[in-house]
Amino acid sequence: MSFEDRLGELFRNEDPHTAGPEPAAVIAGARRRRARRRAGAGAAALAVALICGATAVTAGGGRPAGNASAELEAASTPSTGAAGSTGAAAPAATGSPTPSATRTALPLSPVRQVAPGEKILVTDDTRIWFTANQRCDESRESDGSWHTSFGCRDVRSDNLEHDKPSVYAQISGNRDRSVVASFYLGPTPSRIVAFFDGKPTVATIVTTAGMKGWTGYYVVLPPMPTGDPSAHRRPAGPAIGVYDAEGKLLAENPGTASDGSDERAPQRL
């Protein structure tokens, strides 16, 4: 039985002639008070729900279902990670990048500064010297005496190329070794390299007082195979390449490999 029904029954059991409040008015007032209590409790519950929802969004937690403000905030926040089921940002790479393969750089040519005419003993049976305008050489004979091999060559000769960088090679040797000793016309190089059967050997650069626009060089190599006239095979000899500081080819003197094929200096080291 409801409260209103019980109250009405009590009033009906009382003496109707006794003075007191009107039963209908008392019941109506009780109903109004009960309605106000229900409305107040509902408003308090709604206020608690709104406060909890706002806290969740501010703290950055998961988006509450049905919360329009949380949906709007998530949509307006730019994504910082790769797309995925969790939406988590991808971790930044911390490892070093894999180095790309590079060609090992040859060392610079050593530079030898000598006095004009000073003789350089390249091997025990070969020596060379330079003046301001000439390159000269000589070799030791079996009796110990020295004799000219190629003589002296003047770098001002009209037989040489003077309109572009150019390099020359003169080879002498025996069964133990080969010696290439000559000169290069052009701006000062960083490397002069002899290539034989694909193997590079860095030459020594020689300078002396009075040289202008040219340098001498020499390099010692293994013995070269002899030519075979019957097979029309040329005598073997290295290719000589002259390079600037960045490894760019400035001048080349082609050679012949041990199998008779052309030997060439690479365009860049």
Residues 37-92: tens digit of each pLDDT: 554 544 444 343 333 333 333 333 333 344 433 333 333 334 333 333 344 444 44
The residue type of 205 is: I
pLDDT of residue 44: 42
19-28, 77-86, 180-189: range with lowest mean pLDDT: 77-86
Query: Do residues 120 and 206 lie in contact, with contact meaning Cβ atoms separated by under 8 Å?
Result: yes
Query: Do residues 238 and 167 lie in contact, with contact meaning Cβ atoms separated by under 8 Å?
Result: no
Instruction: Report CA torsion sign: 111, 116, 121, 122.
Output: positive
Kindly tell me the burial class for residue 183, based on how many C-beta atoms sit within 10 Å of its own C-beta (0-12, 13-18, 19 or more): buried
- Band of residue 173 on the pLDDT scale cut at 50, 70, 90: confident
Kindly tell me the burial class for residue 118, based on how many C-beta atoms sit within 10 Å of its own C-beta (0-12, 13-18, 19 or more): middle
**Rounded Cα–Cα distance for residues 30 and 33 (Å):** 5
Which of the two residues, 2 and 161, has the higher pLDDT score? 161
- 73 backbone dihedrals φ, ψ, rounded to 5°: -65, -40
137 has a pLDDT exceeding 60: yes
45-54, 99-108, 211-220, 232-241: range with lowest mean pLDDT: 45-54
pLDDT of residue 232: 62
The residue type of 75 is: A
Share of the chain above pLDDT 70, in %: 59
pLDDT of residue 226: 77
pLDDT of residue 225: 86
pLDDT of residue 150: 84
Question: What does the pLDDT average to over 244-267?
Answer: 95
